Amino acid sequence: MALRITSCLLFVELEVCNMMELVIDSIRVSLLNHQRVVILKQKDTERYLPIWIGPPEADAIAVRLQEVSVPRPLTHDLMHNCIKSLGGTIDHIVVSSMENDTYFATIVVRLGDKTVEIDARPSDALALAVRANVQIFAAPEVMEKCGVRLDKDSGLAVVGTDEDANPPTKAGGPVGEEERERLSVFSDFIESLDIGDLDSDGESKPEGDEPVAGD
């Protein structure tokens, strides 16, 4: 059994080594359509991953980050308590892929000598991650496709990988048909970046005010 546990943990560690660690930078509300956006920031870089989420999930993440006391367990509190009561421990979560303009995430749970991977929406996975206080990762291909950074010279949003890579696509610039189709989920965000911060009562605030959640 010891060998099985060691092998399982080694596999998880090797898998994590290939991932990019993220932190929650802020939760914001679009001034254009009032949709919530969680902004994830890659550690030690200025690259961001914006993910649209629903208002209930945004509130669930913000409540925990702000350490707001609630009288009874919320849905994600219940999920976390169930995992713990059944002997499991959330190890980390991964934003694993983006297909057809939809993100997919995985919640990695250690259960005895086993590692269980649970398919989830990123919003639910993030809500559990902040409750379990575990690391958040993204697959490299997700950051390559969807990572956003601000160009230092122009101030435009840049989609792509590292600064030293081939010239990435800039907001408002010419985009190939295949690339636009692949990144269509981000087009509004990249082309406008007109996003205000989310106040604690769920109302939008002008850009520059304190965000509801930090890293």
- In residues, how long is the chain? 215
- Radius of gyration from C-alpha coordinates of the chain: 18
Cα(89)–Cα(34) distance, rounded to whole angstroms?
Answer: 35
Cβ count within 10 A of residue 189: 23
- 50-104 tens-digit pLDDT: 999 999 999 999 999 998 988 999 999 999 999 999 999 999 999 999 998 899 9
Structural domain boundaries in the chain: 2-205
Cα(39)–Cα(95) distance, rounded to whole angstroms?
Answer: 13
CA 106-57-13 angle, to 5 degrees, is: 25
- 113-126 tens-digit pLDDT: 899 999 999 999 99
Q: Which CATH number fits domain 2-205: 3.20.20.20, 3.10.690.10, 3.30.565.10, 3.40.30.10?
A: 3.10.690.10
pTM score: 0.69
φ, ψ for residue 132, nearest 5 deg: -90, -5
Mean pLDDT of the 180-193 span: 46
What is the reported pLDDT for 85?
96
Q: Which two tokens stand for residue 112?
A: 């005895």
Contact criterion met (CB below 8 Å) for 135 and 40: no
Nearest to 46 by CA among 147, 117, 144: 147
